[in-house]
Structure 1
Amino acid sequence: MVIEIPELFEPTEVREIRAALEAAPWTDGRATAGHQAARVKDNEQLALDLPLARELSDRVLARLSQTPLFIAAALPARVLPPRFSRYDGRGQYGAHVDNAIFPVPGTGEHLRSDVSATLFLSDPADYDGGELVIEDMFGTHSAKPAAGHLIVYPGSSLHRVMPVTRGVRYAAFFWVQSFVASAERRRLLLDLDGAIQSVAGDHPEHAAVDTLTQVYHNLLRQWSQT
């Protein structure tokens, strides 16, 4: 299940974030990759302990908590603080699967990566290449959305970032431990939630609204892991 969430940040906000990233110091992105992923990773990242990285990460987390479609699609139990990447000069990230478990900085705890997410921070016209290509049970998807848009996809998927042959591609990326680990079940719940919203919008007093809502929450109760 690949979901595009438009305008998580508006264009003026994106320009402000990108200006901060353009002035930031960058480090080799392979330092944070797993053993296999490091072999195919060629990009730069902000150091996790950089004050700017923490500031921007908190800003993204705050916005996610106010975004109904993200909450409905990911059903987030925990979100790993977002990280920031930079690709240029044919930078790329070859086909890989994200680590299943990530340490949560400063807590001694760990997070299971049920959901992966990429927030695009460069306008598509500003760079060539750089598509996020995702292969999952639903097929192959290529994403290069407008700056400020978020792509949400299964953490279990094989995915890659195509080489950037012109310009610079900035992005934020992070992982989510969902209340529902199964991508198929999250898809069903998202479809059901959308149907409830549609019926409630057209016929708010219809008895089906209560019945569908009951089914949604009973499925969530049955499938959730807390």
Structure 2
Amino acid sequence: MVSVYSVPNAFSALECAEISRKVNAEPESEARLVGQTRDHNLRRADVVWLDDVPGTGWVMDRLISLVRRANRELFNFDLREFAESPQAAGYKAKDGGHFAWHSDIGDGPVAGKRKLTLMVQLSKPGAYDGGDLEVMPGAHVVAASRAQGSVTVFPSFLLHQVTPVTRGARQSLTVWAHGPAFR
């Protein structure tokens, strides 16, 4: 059975605040889908790519370590690289922020190699309503922890969503681990 891997307190509240502060100082761009298409019915968020944010190299080191741990303890996938920058996403109630059910494996040359998705909860849970990350590893839905600094890792082929944010704003950080096609 495919499952979801969780790490509570993978980042401290201070680390989350530092990442958010640095990300928020950079210009945001409207989130796009694989292939650079835009569909507000499917996704409404703003993003900043962490590779564009000075002083955040330590974050990628931590993310790599967390992916390795999750893969060793649960998934055992053939992972070879991190071919994309981590993506900080902001989902705001005033914009109707959400991301409808989808998987992270796409048709593109890079998105087609995604094997594991890792999401870090940067916001404090009381900073927003709605905005739940939900993953469907089978016939049931698993809600990811809303605790600040928690990490959720799951196979990129699983359906998942971020429910609409109805108050405040939710900020998260996502990275994908890549490898050869599943067989």
Q: What TM-score results when the alignment is normalised by the length of structure 1?
A: 0.65
Partner of 1:60: 59
Match of 1:145 in 2: 146
- What is the RMSD computed on CA atoms of the aligned residues? 2.8
Taking a change above 3 Å as real, the CA distance of residues 142 and 60 of structure 1, as seen in their structure-2 partners, is: same
Q: 1:15 matched to which residue of 2? A: 17
* 3-state SS in 1 of match to 2:160: strand
AA in 2 matched with 1:143: A
Structure (1 or 2) with the greater helix fraction: 1
Structure number with higher relative contact order (C-alpha < 8 Å, ≥ 6 residues apart):
2
Structure 2 counterpart of 1:223 = none
Alignment of 1:1-226 (within 5 A): 1-30=3-32, 32-34=33-35, 38=39, 39-46=41-48, 48=49, 51-52=52-53, 55-56=55-56, 58-67=57-66, 69-72=69-72, 73-75=74-76, 76-79=79-82, 80-88=84-92, 89=94, 90-100=96-106, 103=109, 112-137=113-138, 139-177=140-178, 181=182
Q: Which runs of 4+ in 1 moved over 6 A?
A: none
SS at match of 1:77: coil
1:143/1:159 CA distance change after superposition, 3 Å: same
Percent sequence identity is 25
What residue is the counterpart of 1:192 in the other structure? none
Give the structure-2-normalised TM-score.
0.79
Contact (CA 8 Å) 1:130, 1:144: kept in 2 or not?
A: no
Query: Structure 1: which 5+ runs fail to align?
Result: 105-109, 183-226
Question: 1:70, 1:128 → 2: CA distance?
Answer: 28
> What amino acid is the match of 1:141?
V
- When residues 151 and 138 of structure 1 are mapped into structure 2, their CA distance, relative to the original with a 3 A threshold, is farther
CA-CA distance at 1:150 after TM superposition:
0.9
Q: Give the match's secondary structure for 1:95.
A: strand
Equivalent residues of 1:5, 1:69 under 8 A apart: no
Q: Which runs of 5+ in 2 are unaligned?
A: none
Evaluate the alpha carbon distance shift between residue 74 and residue 92 of structure 1 in structure 2; reply closer, same or farther with a 3 A threshold: same
